[in-house]
Chain A
Amino acid sequence: MHTRHKAFRALAAWLLFAHCAQAETLVLSAHFVDEFKNKATISVKLEVDVHPQTPHSISSGGNDGDIHMSGRADEVGLPMVAEIVNARKEQTALALLKATTEGTNIPVNGVWRIWFEHLGKEDQIQGNPVDVPDTSNPAHLFEIHPITQFGPDPVLDGFVEISNYKAYAAKVAFPYYEKVPATISASDGSVTITSGEGKYNYAEFVIELAGAPQSDGDDGYFVLANVYDTGDEEEAITSDARRMVFVKGTPPATRLLTMSKGDKMHVLGIPRVNLAEVSAMATNQATDTTLPYEMIIVAVLPD
């Protein structure tokens, strides 16, 4: 019995350590949170540091057909990358990226995305000096993903199904999204989020509109929707309606505008932190909770 207790305590300690080792803290300016919590996208002048010449291959998991670049932007003030989704559909932007040399400044617009996927060893504090990355995928919690404009060219053709890509099933991804632990707090001028590792970039699921879409007053729409696993639309797999993010001018947004409450759409989406909910939760006392998230809809899939 004594040995069992010891084993249990060792296991508990290991789990705690493992959890702590995979957590990271992000400190955002309160102004940034207020400005972007209800915006789909952000516009920056990106100083491109490192980028590959070809997009990811396409199969499953991280082989998603994206191409990403590391860079720095004063508007963000954090280690970051920017990604073109379904990049083979965006030959103009690809050609521009290939011709881009280190240190070139390029205007980039795209969906801002905070997700605790590529954790580092140090806290990330917005506004602190950002080291020049030596890889195209440095430790980062902030992304512009997907890019919607790269230089002079709109990058909206990639918002379609990624051919031959097998996304994560909703019944795998969403139970994980729903339970990512986080601690949220606020102080004068800042909002702090500590969270464990985020997974499952691309999930395939069915949404059923729970309300009317609302424009963010810029180039995005938000809508609340119930989430179902593909092929099992009897019971929602999230505890409540979740917020969905659409980018104006993309096929998903075009379809959204024809839909009414109760209508369904089969989609491909990627998660990001829901800053509106973070803002609503954040007080000067730390709150242990699950990480509030919302889904960026990047493609409409066949029904």
Chain B
Amino acid sequence: MNGLFNSTTLDVILGLIFVYLLLATICTAINEWLAGIFNTRARNLASGIEQLLDGQPKEGANTVAFLQQFYAHPLISGMLAPGKSGASAHPSYLAARTFATAVMDLATPTKPGAITFADLESGIKSMPTGDVRTALLALVQNARNDLGQAQKNIESWFNDTMDRASGWYKRRTEVSTVIIAALLTVGANADTVNIVRTLWQNPTQRALLVQKAEKRSSEAAPATVSVKYENKDKPLQPTSIREPSKDELQALSGVLGWHTDTADPEASGWPQRLLGWFLTIVAVSLGAPFWFGVLNKIVNIRNAGKKPATGEPSPSNGGGATQGGAAQGAVNAHAA
């Protein structure tokens, strides 16, 4: 192969993508770890519920009584972690049916036990003027005197808000990903320009990273492979990805880090270093699945361009490297 995609160029690209993939994988792991530490999902759910229920004053007083009553309801209080308070006690997930049942029960305090549609409607109408009352009235008006439909409408109200809350969570995660990527990039001095230069100038370092990249593309290490469903609404699309191994992280030591030569700003200049960091931050923010897919494609391109070894069947006779590469590509397509 000549021109842009000669072997050295392709190997430098492959090495760079491998670095991006490992950094993005670490970034994702840190993000998940922080989400667990700070109960981000629980806080997000609490914000969504607050947005739904905090606009309802108690009769005669301008308080958020309905929200407090909601959390005091046995259906909800039973889900709070015992001995904890605030976000650490809040559940990460609440079923729409549980939400609707608790809200309907709170709206009909004088009707313990089974209720009718009329009970629910009159209970809501007897609530003091407020956002929750207005919203619930609108929801039951569309229920055609059917209690079951009224409950479904309240569940949909909750689900719609939770969908928006998922959007908030995603945006927050994107922001935190960029911040983590920035800290990781600067901390590890992951300067794209310097990485490219090192890979271009040092064939040994380049070969090491290419070897690791090809290995990552073709194999799954025993203890670290996992299968996940990125979107729970798509049960037909599991994906697998594995965490970086110590071996892989060690391979990065030649291109990352604050070595004596790279720590000296005079060696490369701050403008160039800032540009290199910026490129790395943008790349790492794209996420591990993206770079895993790109890595597989580049490995396949690289393998397709290789000359068959002596004695190896050529693609034209139905076997050999190209066929194997295509099969591997198919397998990796599942993983990506």
Contacts and interface: CB of A to CB of B under 8 A. Distances in A.
B225 interface: yes
Interface string B209-240: 00000000011111101011101111111111
Interface in A251-288: 260-264, 274, 276-277, 279-285, 287-288
Nearest to A191: B331
A241 interface: yes
Contact of B218 (A38, A211, A285): A285
Nearest to A212: B233
A263 B98 CA distance: 9
B232 A260 contact: no
A264 B96 CA distance: 11
A127 to B, nearest CB: 17
Contacts of A283: 218-220, 328, 331-332, 335
Nearest to B96: A262
A285 to B, nearest CB: 3
A289 interface: yes
Contact of B236 (A30, A187, A216, A262): A216
Interface residues of A, number: 38
Contacts of A38: 236
Contacts of B233: 211-212, 214
Given A210-B232, A211-B233, A240-B228, A262 B222 contact: no
A240 B230 CA distance: 12
B302 interface: no
Given A262-B96, A292-B227, A280 B238 contact: yes
B161 interface: no
A243 B235 contact: yes
B320 to A, nearest CB: 10
A3 B309 CA distance: 54
Given A208-B95, A287-B220, A282 B232 contact: no
A94 interface: no
A214 B232 CA distance: 10
A274 B96 CA distance: 29
A184 B220 CA distance: 10
A239 to B, nearest CB: 10
A260 B94 CA distance: 13
A210 B98 CA distance: 15
Given A262-B97, A279-B334, A188 B327 contact: yes
B323 interface: yes
B297 to A, nearest CB: 16
Contacts of A97: none
Contacts of A152: none
Contacts of B229: 211, 224, 241, 243
A300 interface: no
Contacts of A263: 95-97
Contacts of A231: none
Contacts of B231: 211
Nearest to A292: B227
B200 to A, nearest CB: 30
A211 B228 CA distance: 14
B282 to A, nearest CB: 28
B105 interface: no
A186 interface: yes
B235 A277 contact: no
A262 to B, nearest CB: 3
Interface in A162-197: 186-189
A240 B218 CA distance: 26
B296 to A, nearest CB: 11
Given A281-B225, A287-B225, A288-B222, A260 B238 contact: no
Nearest to B78: A234
Contact of B240 (A260, A261, A280, A285): A280
Contacts of B221: 287
Interface of B: 93-98, 155, 159, 218-223, 225, 227-229, 231-240, 323-324, 327-328, 330-332, 334-335
Interface of A: 30, 38, 186-189, 208, 210-214, 216, 222-224, 240-241, 243, 260-264, 274, 276-277, 279-285, 287-289, 292
7 contacts: A213-B235, A261-B95, A276-B238, A282-B334, A283-B218, A283-B219, A283-B335
Given A211-B231, A222-B236, A284-B219, 17 more contacts: A38-B236, A188-B324, A211-B229, A214-B234, A224-B232, A240-B228, A260-B96, A260-B159, A262-B98, A263-B97, A279-B331, A280-B334, A282-B331, A283-B218, A283-B332, A285-B219, A288-B223
The 3 closest A-B pairs by CB, nearest first: A262-B95, A211-B232, A285-B219
